[in-house]
Amino acid sequence: MSKHDIRVCGLGGQGVILGGMIIGKAASIFEDRWATLVQSFGPEARGSECSAQVMVADDPIAFPYIRETDVFVAFSQSAYDKFVHEMKDDAVLVYESELVVTDDRMPKGAKKFGCPGTRIAEEDIGRRIVFNLVMLGFFSSVTDLIDSDAMRKAVADSVPAGTEELNLKAFEAGYAHGVEKYGK
């Protein structure tokens, strides 16, 4: 059985929960796999810590809570600081390279992939609000856990009507950054 425990974390307003939903939808709806999503956030609308725990598997998932993370997607320093200790040995860290500073708390054998998602969203797309889609495109290119076409379909199916083109453009910018920086 192939199962991947993915934690997407950041601050309220960064699109963390939507990011987790898109990953789960891509796997479950567009790849016909099993997926669960458990979300956690503070009472504030923006600025508080939030987390999306996504499990993706080839077989049914009996327990939806992550104990150790295979892939950790960190949108903020506070998210990194809070959850880095839950990464498995040989896990993958995908992080916003201008907001998160990694350190020696990463487990042995872990791989890290950094992307300046905020800058790409602002400078290349012209809309900071699509930062999370830039990071999802980057996640898709460097992890290859979920088919990129399934991710694209989930993006188009999950964002507000009329914003599909903008959000897919952001996804493609992040994906291209991953391919350019880390190869494919």
The CATH number that applies at residue 53 is 3.40.920.10
Domains held by the chain: number: 1
Q: Is 8 within 8 Å of 19 (Cβ atoms)?
A: yes
Using a pLDDT cut of 70, give the percent of the chain over it: 96
In angstroms, the Cα distances linking 17 to 22, 50, 65, 90 are 9, 8, 15, 25
- Nearest-angstrom CA–CA distance, 25 and 184: 23
pTM of structure: 0.94
- Torsion (CA) 20, 53, 128, 125 in degrees, nearest 10: -40
Region 2-15: what's the mean pLDDT? 93
Region 1-26: what's the mean pLDDT? 93
Provide the sign of the torsion angle of the four alpha carbons 124, 130, 134, 140, taken in this order.
negative
pLDDT at 44 over 60: no
In angstroms, the Cα distances linking 93 to 57, 58, 152, 165 are 19, 22, 22, 28
Strand, coil or helix: 139: helix
pLDDT at 45 over 70: no
**In the structure, what pLDDT confidence band is assigned to residue 174 with cuts at 50, 70 and 90?**
very high
Domain that holds residue 68: 3-182
